C-alpha cells in the first residue's frame, strides 16, 4: 500500500513538473514573439549592413584631406621671392604640443633634388615656421597644417574638436584672431593656437 502511495505521489510530482516545464517554455516563447514584434524582426539574426554599421570606426573629417594647392608646391632655397619666418605654439588642454622638425622637407610630394621643400616647413622642433615661395604670394597658415597632414580650422585641431565643453582660440602676437586656417602668414609673428576647456 505504501509503495502504491509513493508511486501515485511520484506520478503527481512528475506531472506537476511537466506542466510547469510546458508553462515556462510557452511563456518564454511568448516573450520572444513579443520582443520580435517590438523590434520589428528576428532577434537572432543581424543583416550584414547592420553588422558593418555597428563595427565601423567613426573617422573625423580633416582639412588635410583636401589640401590647399600651395601645399603641393615644391622648392629649394634658390630663386626665392619670399623667405619669412613666424613662430607657432600649440597648446592642448594646457600642455604644449611639440611641432616636429622637418615637417615639409623630403616628403612624398617634395623629394627631388632642387625641390625637396614645401612652401611652409620646419628645420627644427622650435615651432619656427619657414615661409618660402618662388613667387611673392599670400600663404595661409592652413597650408602648413595640410603639409603636416593634420586638421586645423575653426572646428578644431588634430583630433580635438570644438564642442559644448571645449573651445579653440588663436592669437597673433597676443591678440585674438578668428581667421584660423585662413590667417595669412606674416613675417615675425608669434602665433598661438590653444584648445582648452571653456570657462564656466
What does the pLDDT look like over 94-147, one tens digit per residue?
A: 999 999 999 999 999 999 877 899 999 999 999 999 999 999 999 999 999 999
Where is pLDDT greater, at 54 or 136?
A: 136
Q: Where are the alpha helices (DSSP H) in the chain?
A: 2-38, 48-55, 142-148
Domain ranges of the chain: 2-55, 65-197
pLDDT of res. 27? 79
Question: Residue 62: is its pLDDT beyond 70?
Answer: yes
Largest CA distance in the chain: 119
Split at pLDDT 50, 70, 90, the class of 50 is very low
Residue 46 cell numbers, joined = 543581424
pLDDT of res. 19? 83
pLDDT of res. 165? 97
pTM: 0.70
Q: How many residues does the chain have?
A: 200
The mean pLDDT value for 167-181 works out to: 98
79 backbone φψ class: left, alpha, beta (φ>0; ψ -120 to 50): left
Question: Residue 63: is its pLDDT beyond 90?
Answer: no
Residue 7 cell numbers, joined = 508511486
pLDDT of res. 149? 95
The CATH fold of domain 65-197: Ferric Hydroxamate Uptake Protein; Chain A, domain 1 (2.170.130)
Mean pLDDT of the chain: 85
How far from each other are the two terminal CA atoms of the chain, in whole angstroms?
86
pLDDT of res. 1? 55
pLDDT of res. 47? 43
Amino acid at each position: 500500500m505504501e509503495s502504491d502511495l509513493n508511486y501515485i505521489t511520484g506520478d503527481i510530482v512528475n506531472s506537476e513538473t511537466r506542466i510547469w516545464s510546458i508553462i515556462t517554455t510557452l511563456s518564454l516563447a511568448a516573450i520572444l514573439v513579443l520582443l520580435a514584434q517590438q523590434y520589428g524582426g528576428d532577434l537572432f539574426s543581424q543583416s550584414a549592413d547592420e553588422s558593418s554599421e555597428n563595427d565601423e570606426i567613426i573617422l573625423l573629417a580633416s582639412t588635410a584631406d583636401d589640401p590647399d594647392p600651395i601645399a603641393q608646391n615644391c622648392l629649394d632655397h634658390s630663386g626665392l621671392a619670399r623667405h619669412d619666418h613666424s613662430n607657432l605654439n600649440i597648446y592642448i588642454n594646457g600642455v604644449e604640443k611639440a611641432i616636429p622638425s622637418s615637417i615639409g622637407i623630403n616628403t612624398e610630394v617634395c623629394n627631388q633634388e632642387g625641390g625637396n621643400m614645401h612652401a611652409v616647413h620646419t628645420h627644427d622642433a622650435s615651432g619656427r615656421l619657414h615661409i618660402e615661395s618662388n613667387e611673392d604670394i599670400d600663404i595661409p597658415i592652413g597650408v602648413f597644417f595640410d603639409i603636416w597632414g593634420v586638421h586645423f580650422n575653426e572646428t578644431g585641431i588634430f583630433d580635438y574638436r570644438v564642442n559644448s565643453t571645449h573651445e579653440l582660440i588663436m592669437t597673433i602676437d597676443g591678440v585674438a584672431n578668428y581667421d584660423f586656417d585662413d590667417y595669412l602668414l606674416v613675417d615675425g609673428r608669434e602665433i598661438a593656437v590653444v584648445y582648452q576647456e571653456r570657462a564656466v
